[in-house]
Homo-oligomer: A and B are copies of this chain.
Amino acid sequence: MRELVVGVDLGATKVLTGIATIQGNLLSKVKFSTDCKQKNATEILDNISNSIDKIIKDNVTIRDRISGIIVATPGPLKYPEAIVMDSPNLGWGQVFLKEELSQRLGRPVIVDKDTNIAALGEYYFGQGCQYSQLLYITISTGIGGGIIINGRIHHGSNGGAGEFGHMVIKPDGPICRCGRRGCLEALASGTAIAREAVQLIKQEKGQGILACSKGKKIEAREVGEAARKGDIKARTIILDAAEYIGIGVANLVNIFNPQIVVLGGGVAVGLEDLLLEPVREHVYKNVFALHKQNLKIEVSKLGNAVGLWGCIAVAARG
């Protein structure tokens, strides 16, 4: 019986590979570090196929029980062909990911954008369980998203749907890495939070944050830590980010009228205690009564494995 799934979550700095039953029992996980920007795509793809081969060879009884290999990759990804298109995270140009991996593995492979797969993971195994109208927003280095409509991923016309981070909400705001001004990502991502903190430190107003960093690079985590210790400046940076996330989520709620919005990614998960309540408060105050009825806003509980859970969900969906 073919009831096993191999999931691969391809990130800029690590690849997480797991094997699980289609019902959601994770049997094994392998993580290896990589630096996509330093290595070329061929090398990384060889590593991935070798790591899958290794999982299969390590357990010969597994080989014939595998129903699918599912790969989650950072976007932009042309879908359904699964062509990576100038991905800033991976530092790759055009890579025919599905074709390349299928050839190496001698089996069909399903490839989708990581945020889409995470959204489906939340719908099957996470906070969104049983909410077939779900938005997933990942807040980490950047901001991205996945859309579940009637229990299925909405890809848009060629795979581009869900770019929530590039919703402009402040046309005179800071420059985004996409080149525009005032994108949600430029205002509320981990990068944006760190940028604000570094700026304060340069102006010699960020001593509390600097103290928390203990010589490490300032990231959102350090700003959060300073805020927890009562540093007002750090708290203001976090609350400003929460306000922008609130505007973005309220916009999306008015546009999609979902049952649930799940916030994931390192910043949302790591700073849940500081971010979630202000975001909820803003959204409940700023959407229509109809949209607020039964609306849930939650932080993902699937942690770093959300991508793997999503891969299992893709396979379970059939």
* Chain A residues near B (Cβ < 8 Å): 76, 78, 85-86, 133, 149, 154-164, 166-171, 178, 180, 247, 250-252, 254-259, 286, 288-291, 293-295
Task: Tell me which of B159, B160, B251, B254 contacts A254 (CB under 8 A).
Answer: B160
B161 in contact with A255 (CB, 8 Å):
yes
Known: A76-B290, A85-B290, A159-B290. 11 other contacts (CB 8 A): A76-B288, A133-B157, A149-B154, A156-B291, A162-B255, A163-B257, A164-B255, A167-B254, A169-B169, A170-B171, A255-B255
Q: How many copies does the complex hold?
A: 2
A157-B255 contact in complex given A76-B288, A247-B171, C-beta closer than 8 Å: no
A156 pairs with B133, CB closer than 8 A: yes
With A161-B256, A257-B156 known to touch, is A290 a contact of B167 (CB < 8 Å)? Answer: no
**Which residues from chain B contact A180 at a C-beta distance below 8 Å?**
286
Is A178 a contact partner of B255 (Cβ separation < 8 A)? no
Other-chain residue from B158, B170, B178 in contact with A290 (beta carbon distance below 8 A): B158
Are A178 and B293 CB-contacts (below 8 A) given A169-B171, A257-B158, A257-B159?
A: no
Closest B residue to A167 by CB, please name it: B251
> Are A255 and B163 in contact (CB-based, < 8 A)?
yes
**Nearest-neighbor residue (CB-CB) of A152 within chain B:** B150
Instruction: Sample 26 A-B pairs with CB under 8 A, ordered by A number.
Output: A76-B288, A76-B289, A85-B290, A133-B156, A155-B257, A156-B257, A157-B295, A159-B290, A160-B257, A160-B288, A160-B291, A161-B255, A162-B255, A163-B255, A163-B257, A163-B291, A164-B255, A166-B251, A166-B288, A168-B247, A168-B250, A168-B251, A169-B170, A170-B171, A180-B286, A252-B255
Which 4 pairs show the lowest CB-CB distances between chains A and B?
A: A156-B257, A160-B257, A163-B254, A161-B257
